[in-house]
Amino acid sequence: QLYREARECLTLLSQRLGSQKFFFGDSPASLDALVFSRLAPLLKAKLPNGKLQQHLKSLQNLCNYCTSILSLYFPWDRGESRPPSHLQAWDGSEAEEDPHKRRKQLLSVLVGLVAMLGYAFLSGIVSIQRGSVGPAGRQPVTLEEEEEEE
């Protein structure tokens, strides 16, 4: 029942799209975003049951629609190794725009470390005890005492 309704829905979408580039003409609308968000994973993902995927692949205009949107809005997904520079995250390979970027990163790490250590001391998680008490509350053994015991 569910597969039959999904196939019917895909067929109706295909009929509505026809030979247009987008559902409402030559420019995308919110409906195009919604439809693409459902069709692209169905078209591209490996599914355990491929009935619906095969039906979608048989509707050539919907496949072209997805391919067109992918190449128009996601060009790096088409074989390029990374996204365009305006969408690119810093990965160390691009020239640094800010000459003090490394110094700022190091400073922020140090501030974070000091803040965490300060919190640990103030909350009592870590404490410093002064004195000569050794492990398990015993006094440390000096060299002279050690010689006496032998």
Answer yes or no: is 16 within a domain: yes
pLDDT of residue 128: 79
pLDDT of residue 147: 53
Answer yes or no: is 129 within a domain: no
Is pTM beyond 0.85? Reply is: no
Quick one: which of 17, 66, 22 has its CA closest to 74? 66
Residue with tokens 């000569």: 132
CA-to-CA distance for 145 and 8, rounded, in angstroms? 91
pLDDT of residue 124: 84
Answer yes or no: is 52 within a domain: yes
**Residue 46: which domain range?**
1-74
pLDDT per residue rounded down to tens, the chain (150 residues): 888 999 999 999 999 999 999 998 888 889 999 999 999 999 888 888 888 899 999 999 999 999 989 888 887 755 544 555 555 444 444 445 677 888 888 889 888 888 898 888 888 887 777 776 555 555 555 555 555 555
Strand partners, 22: 25
DSSP string, 52-109: HHHHHHH-HHHHHHHHHHHHHH-GGGTT-SS--GGGPPP-S-SPPSSTTHHHHHHHHH
If DSSP codes are grouped into helix, strand and coil, which group holds residue 22? strand
If DSSP codes are grouped into helix, strand and coil, which group holds residue 25? strand
136 Cβ neighbours under 8 A, 6+ residues apart: none
pLDDT of residue 91: 47
Answer yes or no: is 88 within a domain: no
Answer yes or no: is 106 within a domain: no
Contact 44, 38 (CB under 8 A): no
Answer yes or no: is 82 within a domain: no
pLDDT of residue 93: 46
Kindly state the tokens that stand for 9: 């829905």
pLDDT of residue 90: 46
pLDDT of residue 105: 87
Answer yes or no: is 139 within a domain: no
State the total domains in the chain. 1
